[in-house]
Amino acid sequence: MAISNHTGYWRSTPDYDGLMTMAKSDLDKDLQRVAGQENATNQLARSVAAPGIALVFLLGAAVWASYVVVDSPLSYLVIIAAAISGYMAINVGANDVANNMGPAVGSRAITMVGALMIAAIFEAAGALLAGGDVVNTVARDLLTRSDFDGDTFIFVMMAALLASALWVNLATIIGAPVSTTHAVVGGVVGAGLTSGGLDAIAWPMIGAIVASWVISPVLGGVIAAIFLAIVTRTISWRIDKLNAARLWVPIFIAVMTGVFAMYMATKGLTRVWKPGWPTAIALGIFFAGVGWIISMPLIKRQSLKLENRNKHIASLFRLPLIGAAALLSFAHGANDVANAIGPFAAIVSTAQSGTMEAAGITLPFWVLMIGAVGLSLGLVLFGPKLIRIVGEQITKLNEVRAFCAALSAAITVLIASALGLPVSSTHIAVGGVFGVGFLREYYSERHMKRSSVPVYAKYVDPTMLNATPEEALSSDRKRDRRRLVRRQHVFGIAAAWVITVPAAAAISGLVYLLLELTVG
């Protein structure tokens, strides 16, 4: 096409469509640059806003404590400890929220925003309504000496709180879900050793905690794998998956409602109600029946709109999975809020009475409030990173696998409580994710061995198109492709678990010495 310019001469130009394409391409590039700048600005704003909000909360906790505590020579230590306790609560929320919400988010059953909202509400509700049943268990069970004076005991608790918070904060930054309970234990051990020597620590309790490093993830992983194998054999491998789902999904929901009824009775509501095991079992049977009766027509109605495919069948587990995650968050708030406020409550009682024996007798509501608000703030401000790691970066999850992992967490805690075994909820939850991942890997390996299709034809890899079957079989790249669990996360998380207690203990010992030199 030729057009005339203002000089009257003719020149050759692209056609109209070409001009529009070029203009659109330039506009798209400009819009992408603007969008990239906006995303970078938003990320920078969030990275600055989150620590700022957390700092405001810590200052608020200290100011609140200054108005609440009675006048005493040790009141200034309570004010400092309030800020440290708030800092620990934020870190507990940031790290532990991944245990409950990671599988739900990773399976796409719920969005990140929805998970954070549900977790914040149920964590705070659990902490306020049922939290703090035993606020000084760690100190009482780990410290054998009862002759600590008031100042020494407060320094031990402050060092334990600050050291455990620092370690959990570091673990969150590097993306390692660790046991906050073990961090507090390590903090108490380190400060207790520094202040009172070897005789000040109850070493049999430390041995039980070390045993939980193996018991918790293995038991959680095995139970999660067993449930996934049952679901696979009863539904996923059936030709008529829809009819199988109509029969079996209500049964699995009944198991979930019964287990969580027992879980809440024995672990989530212990501050307001402590039933015995016969009562808890009766409650479990009753709620299992209720869950089965209610879910049968709902599952049947929902299945009428689905196709006979595993992806569609998995959506039947979406709502039960969200409910399980919410109940796990409630129970977590009720139990693990003590990791943040237990030592702080001991400090408050000791500062008011001047003796160690009175520590932990009462739990003021304002102390519990600091823990509840800190948990919610921590998970909202800093929780998404760990949620993505647990839910998306260990193994690929769908609603069925995430449901099995969540159910495994509750069952494992119940079994451990009945047998008196020390377990960590963090280790159990992550172990459940590993368990379903390794079972998928086992099924994948077995399927390839039985399949008549050559191994080298199962993967699209341009570098191996001309390879012989022997070369493909010996290829490390092929082997890695068949691994459905990322090994680096297995070893990295396991290493973080093992060093949590000694690392927190070492930090706590240093913090205690600094407190003695500067404050004491």
pLDDT digits (tens, 9 = 90+) for 309-327: 999 999 999 999 999 999 8
pLDDT of residue 285: 95
Residues 6+ positions from 461 with CB-CB distance below 8 Å: 477, 478, 481
Backbone angles phi, psi at 255, to 5 degrees: -60, -45
Report DSSP letters for 190-232, one per residue.
HHHHHHH-GGGB-HHHHHHHHHHHHHHHHHHHHHHHHHHHHHI
* Cβ-contact 163, 187 below 8 angstroms: yes
Give the largest CA-CA distance in the chain: 104
pLDDT of residue 464: 43
Cα gap 16→390, rounded to integer Å: 52
Which residues of the chain have a pLDDT value below 50? 1-13, 134, 358-360, 453, 455-467, 473, 475-481
Q: Would you give the end-to-end CA distance of the chain in angstroms?
A: 89
Cα gap 117→488, rounded to integer Å: 31
Burial 27-39 (b: 16+ CB within 10 A, else e): eeeeeeeeeeeee
Helix 487-518 and helix 180-196, axial crossing angle in degrees, nearest 10: 40
Q: Is the pTM of this model over 0.95?
A: no
From the list 514, 511, 423, 516, the residue with the least C-alpha distance to 190 is: 511
Lookup result for tokens 């230590």: 77
**Which tokens in the block code for residue 66?**
């200054």
From the list 458, 503, 511, 500, the residue with the least C-alpha distance to 181 is: 500
Q: CB burial class (10 A; 0-12, 13-18, 19+) of residue 354?
A: middle
* Cβ-contact 85, 417 below 8 angstroms: no
3-state secondary structure string across 343-357 = HHHHHHHHHHHCECC
From the list 248, 170, 193, the residue with the least C-alpha distance to 512 is: 193
* Cβ-contact 334, 351 below 8 angstroms: no
H or E, element range at 38 = helix 16-68
